């Protein structure tokens, strides 16, 4: 089938028409939505179309539309089939070949989307259903179509989603399926290219289809969501099925003949505008944020507005207040106008007027964010010190006490929230900033005291402690004016900020959005069990002081005394090294694997290095068996009563060309071991990790982002695992659980090189190491140290992070040459 463009220059439009070469397009899920639009567009372009879906009536309706628009009156083939059934997919292909004798284009469009939290009772069932429909079916169908597509030098277009790139809260299973699908696209594009088959993906943003309705969302909610995103999208509307259909048609055309392995994002600017699908819902709430004309306050006001709240923007500068209020209006999903109040927090009468005006306008206050503050620098022996002290206390403490006091009666009625913006300087001194440090220390105590007092009234009070913040606003990076406002020159301010980016564990100072998101979380129902807490959001500032002190002594040691660490696949390789290092750091360790002898050997090594002579728990288990994983957790809880750390390390890397008859079995085995087991084990551990505010560390691979020929199943499993890490980090963060990943390059284990000849294996690793910028491959202890860091307090600001430990593998674009 050959498709070429027909240009109409006067109208500045492009339409796609089919030439005289006959062609056959098989489109799954083509009885509705994007699939139906694609089938109809292919038919209109002269192709013969196979329409398939589970609903016979809808299949017939779309087939009828295809025939009506076909320039040659071609009748579409109707096949009722369920993509989750291998038998149905085989019948679909057999029927197509029997009828037409060929397949030119395969569009893997069928898919489902369903939300479920990682800790929900039905999560595993939802995960399995989604993976079966969105990934397994695509792998199976594509596999059995290759021999037909090779004959026609055909095309495969997979329908993915921006959720393969961006997380969506409570949709981790869906995101994983799409992330893995993107990796599948790239891997088999490399494998099938020599056969003349091109493979690409279209990744839509929000498109008006039935996928949300099928997931149980009401039609009214679907329409509201679509309209909301239509306003937020840079192009001013949500997508239609026809938008995506045209992208598919282009990728199937000769005009895209140089394109394969590409992820074509068709999202109306969703990713570019950094729009999140799932946001907090503060519809009907009233949020009053002091100091909201700039910096953290402005970012917080805008985020509350974006989340549906009525916002009160206040500050001393009327122009800035209006600018922020306008941004709030622009982003409000319901077009709510922010209340503008020009006020000085150091004046009691201004604060009283601020509250009175808010109550008059909205009738209530749900959320009070005490953000306004100054940081004045002055040495204690300076003649002006007492004035500086009084000014700092008046702004950063007195104003908060007064405003909170007059708001209590209103917050009691709404069972509201108070969030105070403090600083790590409440616990860490700063030379010549004693007044500022005192004001913040007093503010922390105020927070804790009134949390105890106001709790019985249903009012929660929480401290949010940031440090080193800058403002990211168009057109460029603009730092908050707290230092300049304190009298520092712009040059001195710049010089003061820069060192933090180098010293912080996260490698940067904070963005105002970091703090704004934390504030919104603390005001949400998701944090309803938190009050009187000082939430430190400091990029690791406090932890780094300890770490830097240790580094000066050329060693980093961790103390995991009293902690329980469960490490899968810990009978060898990275897992064994990790178990031993945890034991050496004082932890109780659970060693597990399939080989009892190896498990015992590692357990003995753990005992030998344990400073307290702690005996490791030995559990022989196979991670591909749910019952073994349940036994593993139950035995751990029976023995230790808790779990602090879960390291999902067990995995396999099976090599198999996509055209191999055994490929589907290899794919399913890889997914079962490297992904399913992690999802199941993490799911059943959440309730235990929530109690200990624990950590999950997943061992992934650089192959989650870099393809390797004949290892597509492995690459897909690791790509999905990275998405799982990011999704559940967002979900479990409010429970106090951090989730991160370590992604190794080549490590001297048995997974990448399975030769029984130890000498040959080491020689291979040594040669491969010469390609790495660091001059060697990784060792188990390299990864173990990375895992311990992520499980330690020193990484307390890190969650949802993919820590690449690859010796420069990706940076140097090292790949294995056959």
pLDDT digits (tens, 9 = 90+) for 603-619: 999 999 999 999 999 99
The arithmetic mean of pLDDT across residues 236-256, rounded, is: 80
Do residues 193 and 302 share a domain?
no
Q: Which helix (H) or strand (E) holds 791?
A: helix 780-791
Q: Which helix (H) or strand (E) holds 24?
A: strand 24-27
Strand-pairing partners, residue 107, are 27, 157
pLDDT at 238 over 70: yes
Question: Given pLDDT bands bounded at 50, 70 and 90, which one contains residue 570?
Answer: very high
Do residues 292 and 202 share a domain?
no
Do residues 223 and 316 share a domain?
no
Q: Is the pTM of this model over 0.75?
A: no
Do residues 596 and 688 share a domain?
yes
Strand-pairing partners, residue 513, are none
DSSP result, 179-227: HHHHHHHHHHHHHHGGGT-EEEEEEE-SB-SSHHHHTT--HHHHHHHHH
Do residues 732 and 666 share a domain?
yes
Q: Pick the residue with more confidence: 701 or 499?
A: 701
- Quick: pLDDT tens for 767-782: 777 776 667 788 888 8
Q: Which helix (H) or strand (E) holds 288?
A: strand 286-289
Do residues 395 and 456 share a domain?
yes
Q: Which residues contact 302 (CB under 8 A, 6 or more apart)?
A: 324, 327, 328, 331, 516
| Cα four-point dihedral sign 717, 797, 516, 273 | negative
Q: What tokens does 509 get?
A: 């100072």
pLDDT at 508 over 60: no
pLDDT at 477: 25
Do residues 305 and 251 share a domain?
no
CB 241 within 8 A of CB 36: yes
The arithmetic mean of pLDDT across residues 145-165, rounded, is: 92
Instruction: Pick the closest to residue 167 from 716, 790, 677, 731 (CA basis).
Output: 731
- Quick: pLDDT tens for 304-356: 998 899 999 999 999 999 999 999 999 898 899 999 999 999 999 999 999 99
**CA–CA separation, 325 vs 288, rounded Å?**
12
Domain contains 224: yes
Question: Given pLDDT bands bounded at 50, 70 and 90, which one contains residue 535?
Answer: low
- Quick: pLDDT tens for 82-104: 999 999 999 999 999 999 999 99
**CA–CA separation, 592 vs 670, rounded Å?**
19
Domain contains 256: yes
Domain contains 336: yes
Q: What percent of the chain has pLDDT over 90?
A: 41
Do residues 650 and 520 share a domain?
no
pLDDT at 516 over 70: no
Q: Is the peptide bond before 475 cis (omega within 30 degrees of 0)?
A: yes
Domain contains 609: yes
Question: Given pLDDT bands bounded at 50, 70 and 90, which one contains residue 209?
Answer: low
Instruction: Give the residue numbers spanning the domain of 419.
Output: 286-467+512-536
Do residues 314 and 260 share a domain?
no
pLDDT at 687 over 90: yes
Do residues 92 and 191 share a domain?
yes
Do residues 262 and 291 share a domain?
no
Name the domain boundary from 266, 300, 324: 266
Domain contains 455: yes
- Quick: pLDDT tens for 556-565: 467 899 999 9
Under DSSP, the state recorded for 778 is B
pLDDT at 814 over 90: no
Under DSSP, the state recorded for 336 is P
| Cα four-point dihedral sign 82, 669, 131, 205 | negative
pLDDT at 246 over 90: no
pLDDT at 746: 82
Domain contains 16: no
pLDDT at 478 over 50: no
Secondary structure of 626-694 as H, E, C letters: HHHHHHHHHHHHHHHCCCCEEEECCCCCCCCCCCCCCHHHHHHHHHHHHHHHHHHHHHHHHHHHHHHCC
The arithmetic mean of pLDDT across residues 530-539, rounded, is: 58
Phi, psi of 458 (to 5 degrees): 85, 10
Domain total for the chain? 3
Domain contains 490: no
- Quick: pLDDT tens for 259-279: 778 787 777 766 655 555 444
For residue 700, the SS3 value is coil
**CA–CA separation, 293 vs 678, rounded Å?**
45
pLDDT at 44: 92
Under DSSP, the state recorded for 134 is I
CB 199 within 8 A of CB 755: no
DSSP result, 340-379: EEE--TT-HHHHHHHHHHHHHHHS---EEEE---------
Do residues 260 and 320 share a domain?
no
CB 304 within 8 A of CB 282: yes
**CA–CA separation, 290 vs 369, rounded Å?**
6
Q: Residue 247 sits in a domain of what CATH number?
A: 3.40.50.720
Under DSSP, the state recorded for 74 is P
How far, CA to CA in Å, does 466 sit from each of 371, 463, 518, 797? 11, 10, 10, 11
- Quick: pLDDT tens for 413-461: 999 889 888 877 776 666 777 888 788 778 877 877 777 787 777 776 5
Which one from 123, 127, 171, 174 is the annotated catalytic residue?
A: 174
Say whether 436 is catalytic.
Answer: no
pLDDT at 140: 96
**CA–CA separation, 118 vs 128, rounded Å?**
13
- Quick: pLDDT tens for 10-26: 332 334 444 433 489 99
Domain contains 737: yes
Q: Pick the residue with more confidence: 367 or 805?
A: 367
Q: Which helix (H) or strand (E) holds 725?
A: helix 712-732
How far, CA to CA in Å, does 765 sit from each of 67, 575, 614, 623, 785? 60, 19, 34, 28, 20
Q: Pick the residue with more confidence: 526 or 26?
A: 26
Instruction: Pick the closest to residue 205 from 169, 176, 181, 232 (CA basis).
Output: 232
Most confident of 68-72, 412-416, 634-638: 634-638
For residue 270, the SS3 value is coil
Average pLDDT, rounded, for the chain: 81
């Amino acid at each position: 089938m050959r498709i070429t463009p027909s240009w109409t220059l006067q109208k500045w439009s492009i339409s796609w028409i089919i030439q005289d070469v006959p062609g056959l397009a098989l489109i799954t899920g083509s009885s509705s939505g994007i699939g139906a639009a694609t089938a109809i567009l292919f038919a209109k372009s002269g192709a013969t179309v196979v329409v398939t879906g589970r609903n016979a009536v809808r299949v017939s309706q779309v087939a009828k539309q295809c025939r009506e628009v076909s320039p040659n009156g071609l009748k579409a083939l109707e096949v009722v089939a369920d993509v989750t059934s291998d038998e149905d997919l085989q019948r679909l292909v057999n029927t197509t070949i029997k009828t037409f004798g060929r397949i030119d284009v395969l569009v893997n469009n069928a898919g489902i989307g369903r939300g479920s939290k990682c800790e929900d009772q039905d999560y595993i069932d939802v995960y399995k259903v989604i993976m079966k429909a969105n990934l397994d079916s695509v792998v199976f169908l594509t596999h059995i179509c290759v021999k037909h597509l090779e004959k026609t030098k055909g095309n495969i277009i997979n329908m993915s989603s921006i959720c393969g790139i961006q997380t969506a809260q409570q949709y981790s299973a869906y995101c994983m399926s799409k992330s893995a699908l993107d990796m599948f696209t790239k891997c088999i594009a490399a494998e099938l290219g020599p056969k003349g088959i091109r493979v690409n993906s279209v990744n839509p943003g929000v498109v008006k289809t039935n996928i949300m309705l099928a997931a149980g969302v009401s039609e009214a909610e679907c329409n509201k969501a679509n309209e909301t995103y239509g306003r937020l999208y840079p192009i001013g509307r949500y997508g239609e099925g026809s938008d995506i259909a045209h992208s598919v048609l282009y990728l199937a055309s000769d005009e895209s003949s140089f394109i394969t392995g590409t992820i074509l994002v068709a999202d109306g600017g969703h990713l570019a505008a950094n729009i999140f699908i799932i946001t907090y819902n503060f519809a009907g709430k009233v949020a009053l944020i002091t100091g909201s004309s700039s910096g953290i306050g402005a970012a917080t006001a805008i985020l509350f507005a974006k989340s549906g709240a009525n916002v009160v923007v206040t500050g001393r500068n009327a122009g800035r207040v209006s600018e922020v209020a306008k941004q709030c209006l622009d982003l409000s999903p319901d077009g709510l106008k922010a209340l503008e109040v020009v006020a000085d927090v150091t004046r009691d009468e201004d604060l009283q007027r601020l509250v009175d005006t808010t109550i008059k306008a909205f009738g209530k206050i749900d959320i009070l964010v005490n953000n306004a503050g100054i940081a004045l620098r002055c040495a204690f022996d300076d003649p002006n010190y007492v004035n500086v002290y009084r000014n700092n206390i008046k702004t950063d403490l007195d104003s908060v006490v007064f405003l909170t006091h007059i708001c209590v009666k209103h917050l009691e009625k709404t069972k509201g929230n108070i969030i105070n913006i403090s600083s790590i300087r409440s616990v860490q001194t700063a030379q010549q900033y004693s007044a500022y440090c005192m004001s913040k220390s007093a503010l922390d105590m105020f927070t804790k005291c009134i949390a105890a007092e106001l709790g019985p009234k249903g009012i929660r009070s929480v401290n949010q402690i940031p440090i080193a913040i800058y403002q990211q606003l168009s057109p460029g990076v603009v730092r908050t004016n707290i230092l300049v406002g304190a009298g520092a020159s712009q040059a001195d301010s710049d010089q003061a900020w820069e060192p933090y980016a180098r010293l912080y564990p996260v490698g940067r100072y904070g963005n105002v959005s970091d703090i704004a998101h934390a504030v919104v979380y603390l005001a949400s129902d998701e944090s309803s069990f938190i009050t009187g807490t000082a939430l430190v959001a400091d990029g690791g500032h406090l932890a780094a002081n300890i770490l830097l002190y240790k580094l000066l002594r050329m060693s980093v040691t961790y103390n995991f005394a009293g902690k329980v660490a469960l490490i899968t696949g810990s009978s060898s390789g990275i897992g064994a090294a990790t178990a031993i290092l945890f034991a050496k750091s004082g932890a109780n360790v659970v060693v597990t694997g399939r080989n009892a002898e190896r498990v015992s050997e590692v357990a003995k090594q753990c005992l030998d290095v344990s400073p307290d002579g702690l005996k490791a728990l030995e559990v022989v288990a196979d991670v591909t068996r749910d019952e073994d994983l349940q036994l593993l957790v139950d035995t751990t809880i029976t023995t230790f009563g808790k779990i602090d750390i879960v390291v999902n390390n067990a995995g396999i890397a099976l090599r198999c060309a996509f055209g191999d008859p055994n490929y589907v079995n290899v794919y399913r085995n890889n997914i079962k071991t490297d992904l399913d087991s992690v999802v199941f084990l993490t799911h059943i551990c959440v309730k235990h990790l929530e109690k200990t505010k624990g950590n999950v560390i997943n061992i992934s691979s650089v192959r989650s982002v870099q393809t390797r020929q004949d290892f597509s199943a492995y690459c897909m499993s690791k790509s999905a695992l990275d998405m799982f890490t990011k999704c559940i980090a967002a979900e479990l963060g409010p429970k106090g659980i951090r989730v991160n990943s370590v992604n190794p390059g080549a490590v001297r284990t048995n997974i990448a090189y399975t030769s029984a000849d130890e000498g040959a294996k080491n020689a291979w690793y040594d040669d491969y190491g010469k390609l790495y910028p660091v001059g060697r491959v990784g060792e188990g202890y390299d990864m173990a140290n990375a895992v311990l860091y992520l499980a330690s307090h020193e990484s307390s600001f890190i969650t949802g992070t993919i820590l690449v430990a690859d010796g420069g593998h990706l940076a140097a674009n090292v790949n294995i040459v056959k």
